[in-house]
Homo-oligomer: A and B are copies of this chain.
Amino acid sequence: MPQLGLLPGRAWTVLLGLLRPPPGALCIRAVRSHSQGTRDLSPQQMVVREKILDVVVSCFKRHGAKGLDTPAFELKEILTEKYGEDSGLIYDLKDQGGELLSLRYDLTVPFARYLAMNKVKKMKRYHVGKVWRRESPTIVQGRYREFYQCDFDIAGQFDPMIPDAECLKIMCEILSGLHLGDFLIKVSDRRILDGIFAVCGVPESKFHAICSSVDKLDKISWKDVRHEMVVKKGLAPEVADRIGDYVQCHGGISLVEQMFQDPRLSQNKQALEGLGDLKLLFEYLTLFGVAEKVSFDLSLARGLDYYTGVIYEAVLLQTPVHAEEEPLNMGSVAAGGRYDGLVGMFDPRGHKVPCVGLSIGVERIFSIVEQRIKTFGEKIRTTETQVFVATPQKNFLQERLKLIAELWDAGIKAELMYKNNPKLLPQLHYCENMGIPLVVIIGEQELKEGVIKLRSVASREEVAIKRENLVAEIQKRLSES
């Protein structure tokens, strides 16, 4: 089967355009493509995805999370005013009479809506599902208009930083479990960033604009960010320089201590609260054995409006493949933070439910793993078939059908060729191509003697087994392998 699932929609349009009959031909059809920025997942990709999601979901369940599912679309009003500048990326449904609907943009807002609607005050949930964003798709980076998110969130009023530390522990477990190479989790706090802006003299009206400039520090240099602040956003140069002193700092718990001593920042109440929480966080991360994976990074800003406290973002530290290859800039592979105000926005009386959570960027992880598989030429089995039912002779369809039904009924994964009189060689080739380990062969000789031939595809060894012992023998072999 052609492996073209990763081609962008536009390439398909061109490709299929070439194949179309000329205008006026009898059979004029529209371009048979999928929509731009989306893709089909081929069986190979599905296997990779299933393995990755299994690591992620196992970890969520290890931490006691319950599953939850919400509809693909929400009432439009649920999503408005939650995503700041990015609201233009929301897909709306056509007004066909009835309610105005939009496809969900993330899994966090539907979770908050669920909590408020059901008056749930406490919940640890995970959700794996698709979300949709009208972005210009830059597919090389693993960005699509439809993609999976894997979210874990803890809602409820608890003693400070215990759930927050668990979220970071979960990120470490998942990134280690996926063997993506070394990684680092940058952590900061919205209150510290706001405190820095305040003590540096940023006018409050410019907090948001300056925050979004800081957010670019992982892509462009401080010099360029400073230029943007001063020239584009009208900040006084000395204010920008003061910010620069801060946001270029990163380190561990010692940087937290240093900031506590900072003569200006230590005057800001919000910043002190954030620093106090970060100190506690590092204490817990040390107990969890993951503190060395976490860096306090004052350049971390995170775009979304709804964060209110600690924020974090995991980045891979090296390319996962050979050193001599072009490094892939995969951006962050996991992120999250605390959002204590979002649920209250959906509650008629504004009752708040504090929340903290994380989202695993599985699409980027898919891309990395797919790239690695391509590089190493790894072969992936797309089926789990254990036994193939074959015959070397004509007129054995009836026997094959009876036999395979017996295997299926015993829970054995089995296939046969949908032909009345297949030749033996293509049947054996199919097993080799598909990685099927066992073949049972039935022919005239076997039927007469009441036996079946059992063949190992790898060793090509064949043994005759009594028909009535076949299922037991296959189950024994499968349990040993």
Contact: B2 with A70, CB < 8 Å?
A: no
Chain A 397-437, CB-CB to B under 8 Å as 1, else 0, gives 11001100100110111110011100000000000000000
Contact: B134 with A96, CB < 8 Å?
A: yes
Contact: A36 with B99, CB < 8 Å?
A: yes
Contact: B348 with A16, CB < 8 Å?
A: yes
**Interface set, chain A 62-119, CB cutoff 8 A to B:** 62-75, 77-78, 91-96, 98-99, 101, 103, 113-114, 116-119
Contact of A77 among B30, B47, B70, B418 (CB under 8 A): B30
Q: Tell me, yes or no, whether A282 is within 8 Å of chain B by CB.
A: no
Q: Tell me, yes or no, whether A20 is within 8 Å of chain B by CB.
A: yes
Interface stretch of the complex, out of A38-46, A302-310, A453-461, A468-476: A38-46
Bound CA span A16–B78, Å: 14
Q: Tell me, yes or no, whether A120 is within 8 Å of chain B by CB.
A: yes
Q: Tell me, yes or no, whether A1 is within 8 Å of chain B by CB.
A: yes
Known interface pairs A21-B349, A34-B113, A289-B405. Does A62 touch B411 (Cβ–Cβ under 8 Å)? yes
Contact: B64 with A42, CB < 8 Å?
A: no
> In the complex, which residue of chain B has the Cβ closest to the Cβ of A146?
B71
Further contacts, 6 of them, CB under 8 A, given A41-B70, A49-B69: A2-B120, A19-B349, A32-B78, A34-B74, A40-B114, A91-B96
Contact: B91 with A420, CB < 8 Å?
A: no
Residues of chain B with a CB closer than 8 A to A64's CB: 383, 385, 413-415
CB distance from A129 to the nearest CB of B (A): 9
Residues of chain B with a CB closer than 8 A to A207's CB: none
A→B interface (CB under 8 Å)? 1-2, 4-5, 12, 16, 19-21, 27, 29-36, 38-43, 45-47, 49-50, 61-75, 77-78, 91-96, 98-99, 101, 103, 113-114, 116-120, 123, 125, 130, 132, 134, 146, 154, 156, 158-159, 162-163, 165, 169, 173, 284, 287-289, 345-350, 382-385, 397-398, 401-402, 405, 408-409, 411-415, 418-420
CB distance from A272 to the nearest CB of B (A): 20
Residues of chain B with a CB closer than 8 A to A117's CB: 12, 16, 32-34
Residues of chain B with a CB closer than 8 A to A95's CB: 94
CB distance from A65 to the nearest CB of B (A): 7
The 7 lowest CB-CB distance pairs between A and B, nearest first, are A158-B418, A46-B67, A43-B66, A38-B71, A41-B69, A64-B415, A92-B94
CB distance from A470 to the nearest CB of B (A): 16
A-B contact pairs, 13 of them (CB 8 A): A32-B113, A34-B74, A35-B71, A35-B73, A35-B75, A40-B114, A41-B67, A42-B68, A64-B415, A91-B93, A94-B94, A94-B95, A287-B398
Contact: B99 with A402, CB < 8 Å?
A: no
Bound CA span A5–B384, Å: 36
CB distance from A321 to the nearest CB of B (A): 25
Residues of chain B with a CB closer than 8 A to A62's CB: 408, 411-414
Contact of A284 among B30, B284, B401 (CB under 8 A): B401
> In the complex, which residue of chain B has the Cβ closest to the Cβ of A27?
B350
Bound CA span A419–B160, Å: 8
Residues of chain B with a CB closer than 8 A to A33's CB: 75, 117
Contact: B1 with A120, CB < 8 Å?
A: yes
Contact: A40 with B68, CB < 8 Å?
A: yes
Known interface pairs A96-B91, A114-B40, A287-B402. Does A101 touch B408 (Cβ–Cβ under 8 Å)? no
> In the complex, which residue of chain B has the Cβ closest to the Cβ of A145?
B71
CB distance from A110 to the nearest CB of B (A): 8
> In the complex, which residue of chain B has the Cβ closest to the Cβ of A385?
B64
Contact of A408 among B41, B63, B75, B130 (CB under 8 A): B63
Q: Counting chain B CB atoms within 10 Å of each CB, which of A43, A156, A382, A409 scores highest?
A: A43
Residues of chain B with a CB closer than 8 A to A345's CB: 29
Residues of chain B with a CB closer than 8 A to A30's CB: 75, 77-78
Contact: B348 with A21, CB < 8 Å?
A: yes
